Structure 1
């Protein structure tokens, strides 16, 4: 059945082909696992499926055990444990990410062009990362630095890869119920096992429904749910062993996040809002993936990846952050001479009512074929494994944007965007002898885009880009593996729509290129019970793409949003991950990131016509320090305790102003009793009720103060606590 449908499924991709790698190192990893008391974690997003200790790159893998121990329900709950990683909180859930200071902070217009790749089970959701339930996940992988060979234009800064659990040959089932403050209710369940007695067909199904009020009280509407979270996640996987040489994996995922968005306050109190028309932040995504593995060739193995994702997203907000009664009680100048006396300095009750709303529909189709050598197919005397591949993707997105100011339409835009990417890539992995390994990869990519809108803007840029890497590793001894890596990444150029005439010179911007230079040492001590992964890096960004915004002095409810090229910037720093199994019952872990990311030569014109020089200033959302620490104690009797904390140093909120966050740290805990079938836990997040900013703006939003610029902050979640019951049948 699957064989017959293979060709039409491939035909879903209007462009495509790709060829890739084998699991040539699986035997080595298995041997390592038998010798090492610590579990070996494979990087599934990598061509070769190497272990974290073997891959010549800075990678963090968060496995299912750590996700469970910390009680993480959403990606937001665990991203603080990744060194040199940040996100911008302009949405109800993290959607825009920054790795080593590189990445988007928002996307208001609708021509997606991500710097950080985001995949769930090989389904590309870059720029749509909010649908990220952690339930029934095998692991989360964060690959830092450009992934030019493997993922191309959408992974300039790095890649986030979520891998869910695969179907099992034995039946297993489970359920989970969580209750907590903020009216939190979560129910989840999974089932896995064989569909046939022969074991040729396996299945796995997982579902989760999460609801909570969102930690905001709307005093004007007398409601506590205007910032709600209503999140449904569903996934089914089927594995078919078609014959001795063919494995087919089918994945269907669906996520329906219908969240509120009421997170901003004029007085920065953080949690008591006054809006009369609370916003929304909704995303409905359906994704389908088909993976075929064939190893029946004498000297090569074939991998085919076909995926489709369709997303409806809706983001809107009350831009005046208050209500008619609030503004009418304040005095504003008579800017429009309502009194008719020619005196614009007269004071009148303020009238300020602004709403912004965008609805979008995105579809992505991709196809990749990889052909990789097996052990018999290695070249140059059996020293070198090879792979070649072809890739194609088509992305389409339609958007409807509408805003209203004091009851009148203010800005409307209906747009259509389409981008097609075609790529060819290859990689050689050579054993040079004396425990030295060399990896060389290259990718050539063609991108054609087309954009049009009802305001008369139309663009059709096309370009050819290239990226790749050279990495060399040296096994110093059984405990230490040293590597060096040079990688070239790229991000396609683009265009700015709906710009006023005075910004005519900013209609288009160029491709950004990033060179990453990295050395690392991966070590194991105490007979394999204590592991450290250290990386030092220097990144040279050329024609850096910078997102800028300017408030319109004539229409202060409006912003001019555009991207332009800065001359250059440099990012350098270090990452350290560590794991220590002190005893069979006690585990310590942690991470530390240092980052210095600053502009080389860049200045821009502010809304008053003045020139602002950012040369030498640090980039936005690039804290100097990120850290995490954790410990898990699991007694033989079944009692369990986990304590973990993470934090960041201060960082700039924007590239268009000097608004800065504060240093912060967050403490979390989980404790309970674990039995063979059932387990019960009490948990708390942000136990010290730390007030910390996740997004900030600096602009004028109060007409009674003459639209004077002011810093506004959106805060992260306050203290949360609850009870979780887990049941599992094997």
Structure 2
């Protein structure tokens, strides 16, 4: 876990490897060309941000970034990205799926996507394969680090990163053999089996491989009392990765990445009485996703003045989401009395309720991306050797076919087959200039063209095309060896779009405009106490123009049906701050934590509810935007091998939706992991949500009970309850 160095502090093995890599001339040229002064301390760890094209170190990157490295993932026993995300300041997710796939950064992001064309505010990339909007297939096994970049990434990632970017980087092949297996068991019938193997494929050491596989199963914390089943909300998740690295010549490195994930999960999470344990559905839902992807990267370093990177990725995803919309069963509804009305809506009596509703959507998505980048070397710097440069071109083609079918009391309700294709072309450039006196100016610009085509069985046809641009300008200053300050302005964009299957009274909402976001940010990245404490602080202000708002209306004449659409609100502003810190108290004890503060509000925005009444949200907080997010943890590793980690995370309350006033409760959850570690094997006892806190991750406020005359009511989906388990881990060379 921790190893002693000459300063009496400690390094993780991964940190040592990264420090060695950063000592190379190529990487040192990319960080900063300030005068090299031997510090009085040795940094605890240097982390490279892989999502940034310059591979800059975290402490020099002029923007707000959280990196959770392999050591923290291992210390906390993280199995899925869901176990990690509460550690990230000003980050939230919407629990409308079996695993997180809809994210919000600084209050910006989607809460769901039941229909329409894919259009994400938060990018999601796994080993350079773009899975934006498909975030649920994100196992943490054999993961090198998780990176979350806050604010628009308009220069390097464009339209899919208006709010920011999530980048998952798995471990690379090694030039020596290493292998491992891991087994976890726990309550809720949890069983997780994992293994990896890495090493050279030939004697020359120029062809390396790494493969990892994980199968995760558990029942899903729900007992279906009607079906007498405990696994209708199950998680059945297979994740596999394979990497090949070929040093084809001294100047050419070729990386091939393959991934396959098959998440065949149930979705039985909602109840009429907000019971977090027992459900009553007769047709439990499905939340399945099967993704197969590949990435091919060429890095050529043979040119005198620049390096060339070519990155190709493809991904095929089949996804299936279905749910029992009445959240009960025929016997339950037959035991209830529903009011009878005549044609003039006069009460005529009552009779046993009949209510049966199911919703089912299957989708097929293919994406293809190609990017070429040229980045300068020492000999290629411009403006008297003061400026590094990077230029690139990008193309993405996305195709998605969807088949939606819902049924109300045995009759088809919504039936929609749709086909969507979008092609994006972009050019981008970035300059990083040394201005003297340890000032570094970074400027970037991206132009992007998007052409799209939508067709569906209801004869909605759209062919929107648009030109967009984004970029950034950032000035950083190395104040001294301990502090690096920066100021940054970034412009991001999210493509406009269209709404389908709208009633006549909403015909003026068929299309909506591009959203623009300006992010103003200042920050400082510091070390304290001779390198024992690392901290990053960012303060930001975000100005959103033509904010895209997802709205929903329950049809009063057909209460089982919702009208879903996106429209533009007026401008809105978000502001706040993030603080991340690590404190290596001794060679055996490490503390770490984060705090996020977020203030959000709508600009001018009004909408009509299902009865036609105008609701004014102007000045109200945005949905899924808690004012405070926080986390803290401690890891202790004894010289004898005993290990302990305790961590906690929480959020203040937040609105569940943009279409109503229902809110969550504030919560804090606690986790712990105790064990014994040797050089080859480890054993741990662990617990998550130790005090069995009941906390909401998604909420609705609408009418779903005919015996109550469809009166609006609060419904909540809760997060995972307490779970205890044991993990055995064995590694060998």
TM-score normalised over the length of structure 2: 0.95
Aligned to 1:575: 578
Helix, strand or coil for the counterpart of 2:75? Answer: helix
Q: How far apart, CA to CA, are the structure 1 residues paired with 2:144 and 2:41?
A: 22
Structure 1, residues 689-712: CA drift from partner, whole Å, max 9, x if none?
000000000000000000000000
Shift, 1:32, TM fit: 9.0
Q: How far apart, CA to CA, are the structure 2 residues paired with 1:195 and 1:98?
A: 42
Structure 1, residues 670-724: CA drift from partner, whole Å, max 9, x if none?
0100011110000000000000000000000000000000000000000001000
610 and 343 in structure 1: CA distance in 2 versus 1, 3 angstrom threshold: closer
**Which shows bigger deviation, 512-521 or 326-335?**
326-335
Shift, 1:25, TM fit: 3.6
Instruction: Extract unaligned runs of 5+ from structure 2.
Output: 1-25
1:220 aligns with 2:229: no
673 and 291 in structure 1: CA distance in 2 versus 1, 3 angstrom threshold: same
1:630 aligns with 2:633: yes
Aligned to 2:296: 290
The residue correspondences of 1:511-530 to structure 2 (distance < 5 A) are 511-530=514-533
Aligned to 1:494: 497
Q: How far apart, CA to CA, are the structure 2 residues paired with 1:273 and 1:80?
A: 27
Of 272, 275, 278 in structure 2, the residue corresponding to residue 269 of structure 1 is 275
The residue correspondences of 1:636-651 to structure 2 (distance < 5 A) are 636-651=639-654
Shift, 1:544, TM fit: 0.1
Helix, strand or coil for the counterpart of 1:80? Answer: helix
Of 97, 105, 113 in structure 1, the residue corresponding to residue 111 of structure 2 is 105
Q: How far apart, CA to CA, are the structure 1 residues paired with 2:730 and 2:575?
A: 46
Structure 1, residues 356-404: CA drift from partner, whole Å, max 9, x if none?
0000000000000001110110011110001110000000000000000
Aligned to 2:172: 166
Q: How far apart, CA to CA, are the structure 2 residues paired with 1:389 and 1:88?
A: 34
Aligned to 2:481: 478
Q: How far apart, CA to CA, are the structure 2 residues paired with 1:290 and 1:690?
A: 44
Runs of 4+ in structure 1 off by over 4 angstroms are 26-35, 341-344
Helix, strand or coil for the counterpart of 1:43? Answer: coil
Helix, strand or coil for the counterpart of 1:653? Answer: coil
The residue correspondences of 1:459-478 to structure 2 (distance < 5 A) are 459-478=462-481
Helix, strand or coil for the counterpart of 1:637? Answer: coil
The residue correspondences of 1:337-352 to structure 2 (distance < 5 A) are 344-352=347-355
The residue correspondences of 1:2-81 to structure 2 (distance < 5 A) are 23=27, 25=29, 36-81=42-87
372 and 684 in structure 1: CA distance in 2 versus 1, 3 angstrom threshold: same
Shift, 1:334, TM fit: 2.1
Structure 1, residues 474-515: CA drift from partner, whole Å, max 9, x if none?
111111111000000000000001111111000000000000
**Kept in 1: contact 2:263–2:289 (CA 8 A):** yes
Shift, 1:198, TM fit: 0.2
Aligned to 1:563: 566
Shift, 1:27, TM fit: 7.2
1:92 aligns with 2:98: yes
Q: How far apart, CA to CA, are the structure 2 residues paired with 1:89 and 1:335?
A: 37
Helix, strand or coil for the counterpart of 2:508? Answer: helix
**Kept in 1: contact 2:499–2:511 (CA 8 A):** yes
Helix, strand or coil for the counterpart of 1:53? Answer: helix
1:379 aligns with 2:385: no
27 and 425 in structure 1: CA distance in 2 versus 1, 3 angstrom threshold: closer
Aligned to 1:176: 182
The residue correspondences of 1:376-455 to structure 2 (distance < 5 A) are 376-455=379-458
Helix, strand or coil for the counterpart of 1:72? Answer: coil
1:325 aligns with 2:331: yes
Shift, 1:47, TM fit: 1.5
**Kept in 1: contact 2:370–2:395 (CA 8 A):** yes
Of 123, 127, 137 in structure 2, the residue corresponding to residue 121 of structure 1 is 127
Structure 1, residues 386-443: CA drift from partner, whole Å, max 9, x if none?
1110000000000000000011111100000000000000000000010000000000
**Which shows bigger deviation, 283-292 or 344-353?**
344-353
Shift, 1:109, TM fit: 0.6
Helix, strand or coil for the counterpart of 2:673? Answer: strand
Aligned to 2:18: none
Q: How far apart, CA to CA, are the structure 2 residues paired with 1:696 and 1:33?
A: 52
**Kept in 2: contact 1:294–1:302 (CA 8 A):** yes
Helix, strand or coil for the counterpart of 2:109? Answer: coil
The residue correspondences of 1:145-156 to structure 2 (distance < 5 A) are 145-156=151-162
Of 549, 554, 566 in structure 2, the residue corresponding to residue 551 of structure 1 is 554
Higher relative contact order (CA 8 A, sep 6+): 1
Shift, 1:51, TM fit: 1.1
TM-score normalised over the length of structure 1: 0.95
Aligned to 1:708: 711
Shift, 1:333, TM fit: 1.6
Instruction: Extract unaligned runs of 5+ from structure 1.
Output: 1-21
1:353 aligns with 2:356: yes
186 and 431 in structure 1: CA distance in 2 versus 1, 3 angstrom threshold: same
Shift, 1:529, TM fit: 1.2
* Total equivalences in the alignment: 706
Q: How far apart, CA to CA, are the structure 1 residues paired with 2:322 and 2:39?
A: 49
The two structures, once aligned, show a CA RMSD in angstroms of 1.5
Of 685, 688, 693 in structure 1, the residue corresponding to residue 688 of structure 2 is 685
**Kept in 1: contact 2:31–2:56 (CA 8 A):** no
**Kept in 1: contact 2:39–2:481 (CA 8 A):** no
1:244 aligns with 2:244: no
Shift, 1:26, TM fit: 5.3
Of 501, 504, 509 in structure 1, the residue corresponding to residue 507 of structure 2 is 504
Aligned to 1:12: none
Q: How far apart, CA to CA, are the structure 2 residues paired with 1:574 and 1:253?
A: 36
**Kept in 2: contact 1:24–1:374 (CA 8 A):** no
Aligned to 2:136: 130
Helix, strand or coil for the counterpart of 1:718? Answer: coil
**Kept in 1: contact 2:500–2:510 (CA 8 A):** yes
